[in-house]
Amino acid sequence: MKAAGIVLFVLGIIGTVLFAIRVAQQSETFSVLGMEVGVSSANWTPLVISALVLIVGLILMVAGKKARAS
């Protein structure tokens, strides 16, 4: 269970970073009353799924450590 957690954690980190870069590149900024306002037209679903995979991997890693300690 710990090995699966590590794999999911690493894949989650890679996916989150890659999709965050893609989302950041697909945003546009414009000026309103002297302030810069950013608007994103990106698809957020892959970023959210990657973050969930990262969290599940972290939970599995912690559960694997607790199972071995018992």
In this prediction, residue 32 carries a pLDDT of 87
**Domain tally, the chain:** 1
In this prediction, residue 70 carries a pLDDT of 61
Which domain does 61 fall in, by range?
2-69
In this prediction, residue 57 carries a pLDDT of 95
Task: Render pLDDT for 7-48 as a digit per residue (tens, 0 to 9).
Answer: 999 999 999 999 999 988 888 888 888 888 888 788 889 999
pTM over 0.85: no
- With a CB cutoff of 8 Å and minimum separation 6, the contacts of 45 are none
- With a CB cutoff of 8 Å and minimum separation 6, the contacts of 58 are 5, 9
